[in-house]
Each structure stands twice: as C-alpha cells, then as structure tokens.
A and B are shown apart, each in its own frame.
Chain A
Amino acid sequence: MQTITAYLEKLSAHKELLVTSLVAVFCILLSAFFPTDNQFQLISKNIFFLVFLPMLYIKLILKGNLSDWGWNFENKKEGALLGALAFLASLIIFYLIIRFTTFSSHYTISPLVRNNFGIFILYELVFFNIFFFTQEFFFKGFLLFSFRPFFVYSVLIQAGVYCATTFLSSSPSLQALPLIFLSLIGGYVTYKTRSFLYSYIFGLLFIIILDAYIIHLVK
C-alpha cells in the first residue's frame, strides 16, 4: 500500500511530464499518420500537429509562455556566437563528407529545383523553410524544453526521437544525414541559448548552402 502510494505520489509529481510526453507522442503519430489527400494538406497537417497543437497545449493546458519553450531571442550574444560556430562546423564537416564520400550522389534534389534558380529560392525559403521550422519548433522547442528536467540529456532525447521518427517514416538514407546532424548540433545550441530560433536560423542557412553546393557539384 505504501509502495503504491509512493508510486502514485511520484507519478503525480511527474504527471505533467508524462502527459506532455503523451501529447508529444500523439503529435508525432498524428503528423505521420493523419490522412491527407495532397501536398497542401500534408504541409497543413505538420503545421497543426507539430506547431499549433504544442502551442495550444503550452498556452491553454500548461498555462505557460512560449518563450519558456525556446521561442525567444534572449541571449543574443551566445546565440549569435554559438550559432555561427555551429554553422561553420557544419559546413566544414559536410564539406569533408562530400569531399571524401559519395554523399553528394545520394543527396537528391529535384531537377526542377536544380534547374531553375527561382524555383530553388522558392523551395528553400518557403517549402523547406516551413518544414524545417515545424521540425525545429517541435523537437528543439517543445520536446527539448519539455524534457529540461533532464538537462543536457534533453538534447539527446529530442535528437533520438527525431532520428527514430526519420528512420521509421522512410528507409534510412544519406538524404537525412544533414538534418540528423543538425538535430544534435542544433539541439546543443538550443540548450545553451534557451532558444531554438538560433539553431533554426543557422540550420536553414546551412541547408541552403549545402543544397546550392550539391547543385553546383552536380551541374
């Protein structure tokens, strides 16, 4: 009886974390399996389940502030410094990867994007941007800061969840390597700066440059 009571007490103390975890799981499951008929609905689904639902959960249920979940520009100096460092490090690492592996041949960019600069810009700044932001907000914002009681392990937790979802949704390929790398390095930047916006910005820049370089190599 005491064990049960103690268990229940422990449970009650962590119920917010448990519920938040369940909500996060539902968000991931719904973003993966909620039925859609076209690409537009797909994009909308991701935005609703990976952005709006966590935002509403934070505001209405947890009665929290989005800035406490990384939606802020506090620690600008650290953000700029760490973001720049992470950006450079990513570039160097991937330059080496491209240089010494067959990564570029496995990194697919749509011929439309490849052949038309206007479409490339549109793709990167609109379509990829929306996709990347939702990923950043959910994993590095909602998940990471929900698991902040676990300190730096929260970075690994959100990166692990991201990798799991990536591998489970499609067969493993080098196509996902940049984003997996960003989930780790960006997660660390987020943890340190208490804001996912810096990792989002440098991550977006990094992907644009990576794609441009790959296109250059292919052409």
Chain B
Amino acid sequence: MQMKNKKNFFHLLVLLVLLLSSAVPAQADFSYPAPAAAATQAFNAILDLLGINRSAMQYGVAVMNAAPQKQTAPQVSLTFTPSDPQLGDKLTATATPLYFMNDTNKIYFTWFLKQKDCDKSDSPSGDEKSRCDLNNDGRVDIEDYKIEAIRIIANADFNWENADYSHSDSNSAYKAVFGGDDQRGKNPSCYIQDVPSGNAYPIDCNSHLFPDAPHENTGDGSYNSEEEKFWHTDPTSTDTAQTGNTDEANVAGLGINTFTWNYTPGDEVGVVVEGSSIEPSLTLDGSYRTMWAAPKGLCSSNTVDANTDYPKTSTTTLSTSIDTPDVGETTTETETTTQTMTNQDGIFATITTTIVDTTTITNSETQAILSQNSSQISSSSATIDISDDIHSLSLKDNGRTIQSISNVSDLNACLYDNLVTPAENSPESQKLDVSLSFSPSSPINDPSSYSSPELSNGDELIVQSSIPNANDATYLQYSWQVFASDEPNPSSWGNPLPKSSLPNATQMDGLGLSSFKFKLNLATQKKYLNIILTAKENTGDNLFREGHASVLVPIISNSNVIDVFDTSLSGTSDPHVSMADEICTSAVENAICPVTKNSIIGVKINSSSLTDFFWTIDGTPFTYQECFFDGCDLNKQTNVAYFPALKEIGDQYTITLTATNQETGEKVNLARTFQVVAPTISISSADESACKPVLLGNYIDMSGRKWPDYSQTDFMGLADNQLTLRAVTTGFTASPADLFWTIDGTTINVDTVAASRFAIDANGVLALPTKQLGENYEVSVGTLYAQSNLVKTALNKYWNVPYDQFYEKNISAHISIQIQEGSLPVASVQAKKILATIYTSTPAYLAFLLRIVLTISLILFTSQLVLSFSPI
C-alpha cells in the first residue's frame, strides 16, 4: 500500500510540473535573469525606491574619484619695491606664501641671489670663481646663489671683517623642523605635487633646502664659529640681523619673507618656501604634508605638455618553421599587440588593445620577405588607470622629472628656473607712462594768414606732456609728430606733417622737449590733428624704456576776420553813419586797436557764407535805439555794427561776433580788442631815403627777434635833398586842413603854405627845401582834436551821451632834423667787445660823470702844475 502511495505521489508531482509548465507559456515574457543582472536590477530598484537620481550619483562619485587630483598646492608670489630699480637702489623682494598651513613667521624662506656674470658653471675660473663660487666647491651653482642672499640677510651690515671669530656665543644655534617651526614633534612627511596631474608624490625628507657652510649643516642645532665666520654674523650676538630669531634660524630663513639688497642691473633673485600644506598626510598621525613652493613652481610642466607611454606596441614570435613551405624558405608567425590611448581624463583613459597575427615567409638565406599575411585576431577597449604611465617632462636644463625627484635635495635642480628680475616681475615698469594735454581747449586755425603769421588770428596750440615714472624728464628723448585728418578715427592718419608746415613750431625731436607748440595758421583745413609723442629713456646697459601717447585735437578753421573802420557821418539832425577808412591793419594794432574817446567805430565781417550774426560788446549784445546806418535791422543783427568809445583812456572794449557758416553749419567765433587812447599826433618821414628818425637801439623780444627803436624827436636828413614829412595821428583821423606846421619858427597850413617856401600836397605831406650840411630844421605840427557836431549829435541821439561830455584838445609834436651828408645809417647792432660791454653795462650817467670828473681833475692838476712851475 505504501509503495502504491509513493508511486501515486510521484505521478502527481510530475503532473503538477507538467501542468505548471504548460501554464508558464501563458506568461511568455517572463524569464529568470542572470545573477549579476539580477543584482543590478535589484540595486536600481532600491535607488528608485529611495528616489536617488542615478546620474547625479554617478557624477558625485566621479567628483570623489577626481578629488585627490584637485588638491591645492602651496604657492608663493614675489613682488619688488621699487618696481623699476636703478643701479644702487635698495631693492626689496617680498615673498607672499599661499595655501600653507603655518603662519608666515614659522615658514622657512630660502632666498637665492644670482648676480650678473655669475652664471651656473661646473668649472669656473679666475675672477668668476673668486666672485661667484662662495662655498669654494669648484662650481657655481644654486648653493652659491643661496649663500649670496643669506649672507646679506644674516649679516645685516655687520662689520664682520673686523670681528673676532676665535670663539662664538653658544646661543645662535637653531634646530630646523620639516614643515615649519610649528611642526615640532611630528613625523616629517615630505611631498611634491605635479601640477598637471594634480597628484602629490611622497619624497624622502633627506634634508632641507637651506644653504650650508662647508662641512656644516644649517638648522642642525649647532652653530659654531666657523659658521659665524662663513655667514658673516656677529660672534658676540645671537641675532645679528635682529629678527627675533637666532643667527642659525636666520640662515635657515625662518620667517624671512623679505629680502633687501643693493640692486645692480642684471641681478636675479628667487625664493623657495618650506612649510606645511593645508592637505594632511596619509599617515596615521598628526602630521601634515611638508611641501615647498617657488614663484614659478618646482619642476612643473608649464613649459611642456604632459606625455604618456602610449601608444604601446609589443611583438611576440609565436613560431618559426624552416624550409616551410618550401626548402630555403622560413615561415615565421608573430603576434603584435598594440595599445592606443583615447579619451584621457586625468589618470583614466580608454585603452584599445589590438592583437594582430602575422605570417611572414622569408628567404632563409637573404631574409628577403617573400610573402606576409596579417590578420586581426582581436580588438578590445577598456577604461583603466594609466597614472603609472604618465610622465611630466623635466626642465630642459636639468633633465629632472617629477617622477625622478625622490628626495628634497633633488628640488635644488628646479630652483634655477625660479630666478626672476624686477623687470620680469613687473613688466609695466619697463614702459614709460606718458600722458598729453593741450590748450586752448577749442583751438582755432586761421589758414588765411599762413604766409603772414604775425597777422594770424589762429591760436597757438600748446601740447604738454607728463611722464611721472621717468627717472629724469630732462634726459628723455622726445619725438613729436603731428597728423591731420577730416575724421577723428580714420583708418590711416597718413604721413606726419613736416615741421616746415607748422608755423612757429618749437623743436620736435630732442632731449627734454616736454612741451610742443605751434601756431594754428595751417594751410590745411583738416578738422582734426593727432599729435603723437614718443618718449624714450636710456636706463643704462643698452637698455631703454619707451612710452608713447597721442591726443586728438579738434580744430576749427576760420579765416574770417573782423575789419575795423573809422566812420563818416552825413545829414544834420539825424546823422547817417557809414564806414570810412579801415583802421588797425598793422600787426600791433591787429592785436589791440586804439580808438579815441567819443569816437564812433564801425566793425564789419566780410563773408557771404555766414549768417545769424550776433555781436556783443563786453558780453552785452549790440542794440540800437533806431537805425542810422545802411542795412540796419532793429530785429536782427547784420554783418555790420557800430559802437561808440565812451570809456576812459586806458580802458578796453572786447567785441565778439558769433555767426553760423550756412554751408557747413559750423559756428564761427571771432573777437577784437579795442583800447581807448588819448589822441596823439606824431611826425614821420614820408621818404626815408632822404630823412629818417635816429636809431636809438633795438628791442629784443622773447623769441630773439630785434625790433628797432627809433627816436620820436630826432631825425636825420640828407643835405641837398628835399625832405618830406607827414603827420600821423593815433586814435583819430585829421585832414590836412586841420594841421598847422611850424618850421623854424614859421607857421603854415594848407591855406598859407603858398606864401612860404614850403609845400603841402593834397595828402598833407609837407615838403621842406634843401639845407646844407650842419644845418637843422625844427619842425612842429599841431591840430585841435575835437568831435564834429555830427558826431556829437549822433552820440547824443543814438547813445545818449550828454553834450557836456565832449572836449577839445590841442595836440602837437616836434622834431629836430639834423642835416648830414652821405647815406643815412641802417639799423644795426654792432658787436661789443668785452670791456666795452662792461663799460656800456655800467649806468650811462655814472660813466658820464666819471668822465667829467676825470677831465676836471686833469685840467686842475695841469693848471696847478703849470702855475707852480716858474721859468725863472
């Protein structure tokens, strides 16, 4: 019975399995996953359940993976004061450490100073050896540079040459600690960081980078008299440099973040700093990484690219068969494995491995290849860690690589490239800082007076330079250039204007030309001038500093001038005023036009292209109560204006005109200055070949030009020549009929001249008959200056001048004409001898008195002598 039940159970079980199996096809998609996939699916399911973003998590993991390469390495920067030192200057280099855990005063600063002509050498000789091989080891190297600098620091101007080094104080020693003075008691852990990869590599802490005295070690806790003498420190002082640390600590550079020395052009200085990084070491103790930093890095690859061992190729010979396939042939089977790198990302990269089998049949004797067949067996790619295969190429001079640095002392080879010069550190010091300014701010160019600068209305343009960082502005080489264009920013300014086209231009090239000026009566009517200054300074040793600047000067070309006229009046009770003779046309009067009180002056501008005239007198617009001249318009000013000179003698008027050029739209601004003067009359020669005033001397103006000074009263005339004179009035006009001439006591005018032996022509020129040598003429001219009734009426009617303000004045002039023979002397200045110069520089009257006194003394002495002599 039991057997039958077991058999039935077994049949039932099979049936169940079959039934279940037949039920499974109803769910045809279900299948059991592989174990690895199941685990992944389960993991993903957990992440989804927890709401974790898989991509973000992958990113975070990637960052964590890259974190070791992102550590910040300690750094140090150098600055110099002054930034552009000269020979003999006290130059201070300041090291600023960054990303060190220690305070600055706990860090070791090892300075090194390379002077000019102390280049690195393995076999120096002669002067170079005596000057540069300071530790006398037969080489000029980084150790000598360190000694040069540290001696200056430790010595601190102590007079070591006269010191007694037979013994030393015992308190100058110092025991250095890896990683800084505040790391005592901790296990040293030295690292060097490769900047491109970001990896930090441990190295052996075999020594510090301190300079050592021969046969001694700096920072070993022992500082004997030999070291005192070598480092030039005071054997009687524990702290020669007075830094607060002992002499040996000073030699070790503890807290010495500044270095000052007497600069010589060609000096190069550097520093390497030892301290503790902010990154901890990986040892299970309290130590931090002891690391070093230099201004340009230590054996970094900033000059070359990182390199790897890839691509890699290896070939393996699988078999070699002789006389196969034929006699005299050799069949060789080889397998070549090639690994190439793609998609490098730090220390990870995708490596593709390709295996190729090659069958080569060669002639057994000649090794000539008869046939070759290759077939790729496999190719696969994988992303792996290639850090073992990355190398930083070493510095060219030393052949050192990061990987090849195994201990601290190896870092010395990296210090040569950390020598810097002040100029290299502050390139801006090599450039002169030039700035320019100009005046006036709105200069006016007068192209019409290009050939007559003295009549120019153009401004004098002055350009001033400022070079604050020049050593001595008077020794700077200046070069000025002027360009002209119609646009402020043309694509090209073209060629500079030659000096000949710049009227009254000062020197353009030379030393000490800090300013440049020229008159703006340029022939060109360009709207913009570009003035460029290039300054150069010789700093010695064939070195130059240069700087340049430019300034854009907008100029307004204006050839219009205000013409000034005397006036003539007509009518009776309503005088009509019109322009008469033009006045103030000479160069002197062009600057300030003299006018007499109570005269009416006309001003006019001749330009058909101008419109919208606006005249002002001393800032007040011209206004008229009524019209009294042609073209007058009470509602609008015209190109003509009249004004009375009512101020007192010596006062000035400023007449300005603003108008618009209707062609160009430019505004024109013009001005004339008038001065009220007393009416005067003078006599001048009408023919200077026969009569001219006596030359008294010469005025010399600021530019060195001579202006002759003629007498107003003494004239010279030629014998047997008719002399002609004219009367010259200032501030008013006198007709010939208004003049009275008196010659040698005889008074004549145009009405009575006919009855005399003299003559007056229609222009008022007086003709004198000839006289003989030695004779003279006494000539006077006079007139009554007074305003005409018409002028008085006009002034009263149009400008409300009361009648009691008018006056009359007799004015006259007198000259003496001395008749002589020969030609009249020409103005000249004779050269003076030295004694004559001294004599003439003495006050003239004193010299005259001296001559008289000497003469009188001589006469008295002689008479006394004669009287005291008795012939008997």
Q: A interface vs B, CB < 8 Å? A: 5, 8-9, 11-12, 15-16, 19, 22-23, 26, 30, 34, 36-37, 40-41, 44-45, 48-49, 52-53, 56-57, 60-61, 105-108, 110-112, 115, 171, 218
Q: Within the assembled complex, what's the spacing in Å between the Cα atoms of A183 and B855?
A: 28
Residue of B744, B812, B852, B872 touching A108 (CB-CB under 8 A): B744
Check B812–A112 contact: CB distance below 8 A. Answer: yes
Residue of A23, A37, A52 touching B863 (CB-CB under 8 A): A23
Q: Within the assembled complex, what's the spacing in Å between the Cα atoms of A115 and B808?
A: 14
With a cutoff of 8 Å between Cβ atoms, the chain A residues found around residue B814 in the complex are: 110-112
Nearest A residue to B813, CB-CB: A111
Check A52–B745 contact: CB distance below 8 A. Answer: no
B702 within 8 A of A: no
B742 within 8 A of A: yes
In addition to A15-B867, A115-B812, 14 A-B residue pairs with Cβ atoms within 8 Å of each other are A8-B871, A9-B872, A11-B871, A12-B872, A19-B863, A44-B852, A45-B852, A57-B863, A105-B745, A108-B745, A111-B742, A111-B814, A171-B775, A218-B747
A-facing residues in B848-872 (Cβ within 8 Å): 848-849, 851-852, 855-856, 859-860, 863-864, 866-867, 870-872
With a cutoff of 8 Å between Cβ atoms, the chain A residues found around residue B745 in the complex are: 105-108
With a cutoff of 8 Å between Cβ atoms, the chain B residues found around residue A56 in the complex are: 856, 860
With a cutoff of 8 Å between Cβ atoms, the chain A residues found around residue B848 in the complex are: 36-37, 41, 44
Check B871–A12 contact: CB distance below 8 A. Answer: yes
With a cutoff of 8 Å between Cβ atoms, the chain B residues found around residue A44 in the complex are: 845, 848-849, 852
With a cutoff of 8 Å between Cβ atoms, the chain B residues found around residue A15 in the complex are: 866-867
Can you list 6 A-B pairs with a CB-CB distance of less than 8 A?
A15-B867, A16-B867, A19-B863, A30-B855, A44-B849, A57-B859
- Assuming the contacts A34-B852, A53-B859, asked whether A111 and B782 have C-beta atoms less than 8 A apart, the reply is yes
Q: What's the least CB distance linking B372 to chain A, in Å?
A: 123
Q: Within the assembled complex, what's the spacing in Å between the Cα atoms of A120 and B228?
A: 103
Nearest A residue to B852, CB-CB: A48
What 5 pairs across the A-B complex have the smallest Cβ distances? Answer: A108-B745, A8-B871, A111-B780, A48-B852, A111-B812
B327 within 8 A of A: no
Q: Which of B744, B848, B870: most chain A CB closer than 10 A?
A: B848
Q: Please, what's the 1-or-0 string for B824-852, where 1 marks a CB less than 8 Å from any CB in chain A?
A: 00000000000000000000110011011
With a cutoff of 8 Å between Cβ atoms, the chain A residues found around residue B746 in the complex are: 105
Residue of B742, B774, B780, B856 touching A52 (CB-CB under 8 A): B856
- Assuming the contacts A61-B864, A108-B744, A111-B812, asked whether A48 and B845 have C-beta atoms less than 8 A apart, the reply is no
Q: Within the assembled complex, what's the spacing in Å between the Cα atoms of A106 and B778?
A: 12
Check B852–A23 contact: CB distance below 8 A. Answer: no
Q: Within the assembled complex, what's the spacing in Å between the Cα atoms of A112 and B774?
A: 25
B371 within 8 A of A: no
- Assuming the contacts A45-B852, A108-B778, A115-B810, asked whether A60 and B860 have C-beta atoms less than 8 A apart, the reply is yes
With a cutoff of 8 Å between Cβ atoms, the chain B residues found around residue A8 in the complex are: 871-872
Nearest B residue to A15, CB-CB: B867
Residue of A12, A36, A48 touching B870 (CB-CB under 8 A): A12
Check B845–A41 contact: CB distance below 8 A. Answer: yes
With a cutoff of 8 Å between Cβ atoms, the chain A residues found around residue B845 in the complex are: 40-41, 44
A-facing residues in B737-790 (Cβ within 8 Å): 742, 744-747, 774-775, 778, 780, 782
Q: What's the least CB distance linking A2 to chain B, in Å?
A: 13
With a cutoff of 8 Å between Cβ atoms, the chain B residues found around residue A41 in the complex are: 845, 848
- Assuming the contacts A19-B863, A107-B745, asked whether A5 and B852 have C-beta atoms less than 8 A apart, the reply is no
Q: What's the least CB distance linking A86 to chain B, in Å?
A: 27
Nearest B residue to A105, CB-CB: B745
Q: Within the assembled complex, what's the spacing in Å between the Cα atoms of A122 and B723?
A: 33
Q: Within the assembled complex, what's the spacing in Å between the Cα atoms of A23 and B747?
A: 43
Q: Within the assembled complex, what's the spacing in Å between the Cα atoms of A171 and B855?
A: 28
With a cutoff of 8 Å between Cβ atoms, the chain A residues found around residue B782 in the complex are: 111, 115
Residue of B855, B860, B872 touching A61 (CB-CB under 8 A): B860
Q: Within the assembled complex, what's the spacing in Å between the Cα atoms of A15 and B856?
A: 20
Q: What's the least CB distance linking A107 to chain B, in Å?
A: 7
With a cutoff of 8 Å between Cβ atoms, the chain B residues found around residue A107 in the complex are: 745
Q: Within the assembled complex, what's the spacing in Å between the Cα atoms of A212 and B275?
A: 115
- Assuming the contacts A30-B855, A41-B848, asked whether A22 and B812 have C-beta atoms less than 8 A apart, the reply is no
Check A37–B812 contact: CB distance below 8 A. Answer: no
Nearest A residue to B745, CB-CB: A108
- Assuming the contacts A12-B870, A111-B814, asked whether A34 and B855 have C-beta atoms less than 8 A apart, the reply is yes
Q: Within the assembled complex, what's the spacing in Å between the Cα atoms of A36 and B812?
A: 27
Nearest B residue to A104, CB-CB: B745
Check B859–A23 contact: CB distance below 8 A. Answer: yes
Q: Within the assembled complex, what's the spacing in Å between the Cα atoms of A12 and B810?
A: 64
With a cutoff of 8 Å between Cβ atoms, the chain B residues found around residue A171 in the complex are: 774-775
Q: Which of B742, B744, B745, B780: most chain A CB closer than 10 A?
A: B745
Check B871–A48 contact: CB distance below 8 A. Answer: no
- Assuming the contacts A23-B859, A44-B849, A61-B863, asked whether A37 and B844 have C-beta atoms less than 8 A apart, the reply is yes
Q: Within the assembled complex, what's the spacing in Å between the Cα atoms of A22 and B851?
A: 20
Q: Within the assembled complex, what's the spacing in Å between the Cα atoms of A105 and B745?
A: 6
Q: What's the least CB distance linking A71 to chain B, in Å?
A: 19
With a cutoff of 8 Å between Cβ atoms, the chain B residues found around residue A22 in the complex are: 863
With a cutoff of 8 Å between Cβ atoms, the chain A residues found around residue B812 in the complex are: 111-112, 115
Nearest A residue to B774, CB-CB: A171
Q: Within the assembled complex, what's the spacing in Å between the Cα atoms of A115 and B813?
A: 12
